Structure 1
């Protein structure tokens, strides 16, 4: 039985950590001993007991540090020291074989542990981290800091014993730009648990839809999660408005926790009829119900170089719930999946406004066609 120290900057008390880390580890712990070290956000610590209850009967030992960015780089350095100290203790006490590092900062911790104790390092990249900072304007490509971080990032790729990436596009980029052998890279797209993202029967869908105040004829376009940052929410709203102009039964459902004022501002900017829009929050455990009653999931992500290594979590969740995704090309392998498996449609954001009426009609047609057949989602 392999013993793995799993390092995650994403907290288990966050929906993303629950979906994209803990669900995997609970399955892997059936045949492996997992020692999990994560960074939890202070606002999410109220969920610690829930996570501890989930793993109580699993072969997982969980320790966490409270994430802080209060003092910028000094906070990061202090947390690195704490994590290296706790990781060292875990390796000593449990004879760890592998350090599985989820993203760049954990991989940096893993590199130190590898040099100190000779453990294997698995670098699980979640995107091109340094290039993401450039694309968002947080780092200048000409700066010394960028050059130093980029050198560290490239070094992590080269010295890791194996790399996991989310997309085939990223695998090819790493092979071409850094001469990383392809056999050293495994592609594992984001996934979703069928136990969490369940299918409702038609009666259950009808009841839940009615409970939310929808009529049976309403066609629901849903956006789940963040609306700012990488997301082009304004383009989504423009498309939904064009759809409503063509079909008065179209409804827009925005499920989001912390950005309601921003959502309301954009809805007002484009004069979207409020009686056709719901802005709400829901728990991670309830998300599947909303995906079951929706007719299309809409999310536009601003294309960039760094996004070639991204695989949206919500796409996997949509697939499990047989909900078609309407998203844009130029992000990871999305274009391939949408074309190959017929699980939605890809939109060109550069030409969206010029073809708004046609795209709106195409999405309405997709919604009217109903859920994609199970065979298409296999």
Structure 2
């Protein structure tokens, strides 16, 4: 079986290399082939490395540029270009299953179905993109852009041989919107990571990393790894760190982000700039920085769209042995129960309570928390678990569309 994965990603994220290549190559069975069409902009700085990693995994990867301005016409033109590219891949390589990720790629796959020989459709919803734009990007749910993305989503769900989501809640939403019972066609897949890569490491490793950062071994170290978008509650994370600093002035906050130019002004304006460390590091370096921390932060604004996501950072923190402060009701946030602090929407005093938990509990029991977090991460977010979940979705498509 030949699978074509269709992905759209901005220049500051590396989910293709760090998440999807390991997951999808691990999920396919012997004799299967994975091909990737990757759509994006400003990608020249990563193309060679991504292709090297893909080739090492036996994957044929092709980059395709998209237009950005003016936004509406450029997006439509990019979807049209994508449909032609997908159709070409299906014809040339006898693709059995097209697997678009999220709405825009679904639009490409749907368009390609009119231009190429029949192929199975495995739709990876990976959240609710249109609703996220409405919740955080200022889009109107009555606007043309939102309605177009929703149309792509609804048609993809209705026509797909199988649908992948990140949460059970999302399955119900997608089925209701598409007006079709998903029955046995829906598969919930976790964002698993390689536990041999994301690992606590040795105490000597953590000590060296802290020395590099200029952080004392005994000092509380909080970490955030991710983007600076409004859904990530960066202001609340900084306020929580301020509460920790009031209890331990030697505490430090490490922000690992692909958007350092956005992060630095935020921490400087907050008054904690001297205690915050902002770094942009290669993906392969992220695990050792995480492992050196005491607590990871994974907050999300509890809007409608966020109930459909499963933050990758929770998996990474826990596998690295890092207890986590996470938002309740968001994706896999419940996974931190017993090894973290869940922030419920109505708890106005949560920052002080979380700061007390960090200083009074976690810091005084570092090794115990490290071991429990690691065990929970392996239980819930191992790469093997996630690839087996994806494999079930592939197998659901395979009978009708195998060579």
Both structures adopt the same fold (TM-score exceeding 0.5): yes
1:37 alignment counterpart: 37
2:276 alignment counterpart: 277
Deviation at 1:181, TM superposition (A): 2.5
Q: Are 1:346 and 2:342 an aligned pair?
A: yes
Q: Are 1:363 and 2:364 an aligned pair?
A: no
TM-score, normalization by structure 1: 0.90
Question: Which aligned pairs between 1:1-378 and structure 2 lie closer than 5 A?
Answer: 2-10=1-9, 14-28=13-27, 31=30, 32-42=32-42, 44-116=43-115, 117-176=117-176, 178-260=179-261, 262-272=262-272, 274-334=273-333, 336-339=334-337, 342-352=338-348, 354-364=349-359, 365-370=361-366, 371-373=370-372, 374-377=374-377, 378=379
TM-score, normalization by structure 2: 0.84
Deviation at 1:179, TM superposition (A): 4.4
Task: Note the alpha carbon deviations across 1:27-47, whole angstroms, 9 max, x for none.
Answer: 3466221121111321x3122
Counterpart of 1:5 in 2: which secondary structure?
Answer: strand
Query: Taking structure 1 as reference, are residues 270 and 351 closer, same or farther at Cα in structure 2, changes over 3 Å only?
Result: farther
Query: Taking structure 1 as reference, are residues 356 and 129 closer, same or farther at Cα in structure 2, changes over 3 Å only?
Result: closer
Task: Note the alpha carbon deviations across 1:74-107, whole angstroms, 9 max, x for none.
Answer: 2222222322222222212221110011111111
Deviation at 1:7, TM superposition (A): 0.6
Deviation at 1:137, TM superposition (A): 4.4
Deviation at 1:294, TM superposition (A): 0.2
Q: Could you tell me how far apart the structure 1 residues matched to 2:286 and 2:61 are?
A: 25
Q: Could you tell me how far apart the structure 1 residues matched to 2:139 and 2:305 are?
A: 13
Retained in 2: the 8 A contact 1:99–1:120? yes
Deviation at 1:164, TM superposition (A): 0.1
Deviation at 1:174, TM superposition (A): 3.1
Retained in 2: the 8 A contact 1:4–1:97? yes
Retained in 1: the 8 A contact 2:130–2:150? yes
Count of residue pairs brought into register by the alignment: 370
- Higher mean displacement: 156-165 or 76-85: 76-85
Retained in 2: the 8 A contact 1:29–1:60? no
Deviation at 1:11, TM superposition (A): 6.5
Task: Note the alpha carbon deviations across 1:105-137, whole angstroms, 9 max, x for none.
Answer: 111111223344221111101111221121124
Deviation at 1:72, TM superposition (A): 1.7
Task: Note the alpha carbon deviations across 1:256-276, whole angstroms, 9 max, x for none.
Answer: 23243x43433344322x442
Query: Taking structure 1 as reference, are residues 144 and 243 closer, same or farther at Cα in structure 2, changes over 3 Å only?
Result: same
Q: Could you tell me how far apart the structure 2 residues matched to 1:176 and 1:75 are?
A: 30
Retained in 2: the 8 A contact 1:256–1:280? yes
Retained in 2: the 8 A contact 1:250–1:276? yes
Larger RCO, structures 1/2 (Cα 8 Å, 6+ apart): 2
Query: Taking structure 1 as reference, are residues 169 and 366 closer, same or farther at Cα in structure 2, changes over 3 Å only?
Result: farther
Q: Could you tell me how far apart the structure 2 residues matched to 1:29 and 1:150 are?
A: 29
Retained in 1: the 8 A contact 2:67–2:77? no
Counterpart of 2:231 in 1: which secondary structure?
Answer: coil
Task: Note the alpha carbon deviations across 1:127-166, whole angstroms, 9 max, x for none.
Answer: 1122112112432123355445434422221111110001
- Higher mean displacement: 291-300 or 30-39: 30-39
Deviation at 1:176, TM superposition (A): 5.0
Query: Taking structure 1 as reference, are residues 167 and 67 closer, same or farther at Cα in structure 2, changes over 3 Å only?
Result: same
2:391 alignment counterpart: none
Q: Could you tell me how far apart the structure 2 residues matched to 1:202 and 1:91 are?
A: 50
